[in-house]
Amino acid sequence: MAMNPKLLRPKASGVHPEAAAWRTAVIANGGTVSATTMGGVNRFCLSIESAGLRDRFLRLNLVCGNSLLAALVPLYLGQSRTATQLGNTTDTNNNFVSGDYTEATGLQGNGSTKYLITGVNASNLNRNSTHLGVYGTNLGDASTGYGSLAGARDGTANNLIQLDGKNSNVAVNRFFSSAANSVVVAGSPAATGGHVIGVSASSTDLRVYVAGSSTGITATDRTSGLLIAQPIYIFANNFNGSPSDHSAMRCRAYSFGIGMTAAQVLAFYNALQTFQTSLGRNA
């Protein structure tokens, strides 16, 4: 089938270069992007830059576009467009099929076998200034296990970064960024939809935010140890190289990178919520 030439031509002046580069990468991966989605991605990039947040992200995927092939292409792959690009250029798909995704609803996990590999090792992050977050629905789906939304940890459950959904074991959202899994912040009340983000703002400040507002804080020294040199997974936790505690969330975005202040988290949430609203899938 002939490719639509409109998708190959540079967009008119005024389009953010990272939005344009994302569309090019989507097309190279076999996907397509509507004008509505492109407009939303462009406005998101402009909002993040205007808020001074761009350097907070090592990876961000808005999970959008007209097919699963498009949804697997992250928008950000490093701290800037010109910085070292980390991980896989597309999220490595494990067991998702085309029917698991629609742009109107996001990408649906199954809580057992489906997950994404980002290719970015947790060791690229500083445990004392980091964030890990997801936007979606069904974030508190697990009836058993810990329902990890994203993360990576070693085989002794130390040196980990991990974000959990509400589940039968823990009725809160939990975030770890520590040298031992006893150092954890629990966000309550737990969110089952929308934007949940764990932030390590310093060696003694660990927080969970839901919809831009703090729901849990802990102050514990986490200066020892290193985050594991294993890639961060989405829809599951990378337990020393193997997926565990899968989530059945319906993901509409994820991100991880550098820590944020409360004001920065709120600005990020506002930009993300505006984007999700533009696609009619805000939660």
Q: CATH number for the domain including 45?
A: 2.60.120.200
Domain membership flag for residue 24: yes
Structural domain includes residue 123: yes
Question: Which stretches of the chain score pLDDT less than 50?
Answer: 1-12, 142, 144
Can you give the pLDDT at residue 146?
Answer: 59
In a domain, 181, yes or no: yes
In a domain, 5, yes or no: no
Overall domain count for the chain: 1
Residue 6: inside a domain: no
Could you tell me if residue 7 is inside a domain?
A: no
Range of the domain at 160: 17-278
* 10 is a domain residue: no
Torsion sign (Cα): 147, 167, 223, 127: positive
What's the token pair of residue 22? 């994302």
Give the integer Cα–Cα distance in Å for 236 and 246: 4
| Side-chain half-sphere CA neighbours of 273 within 13 A | 14
Contacts of 263 (CB under 8 A, 6+ apart): none
What's the chain's Rg over C-alpha atoms?
18
Whether residue 207 lies inside any domain: the answer is yes
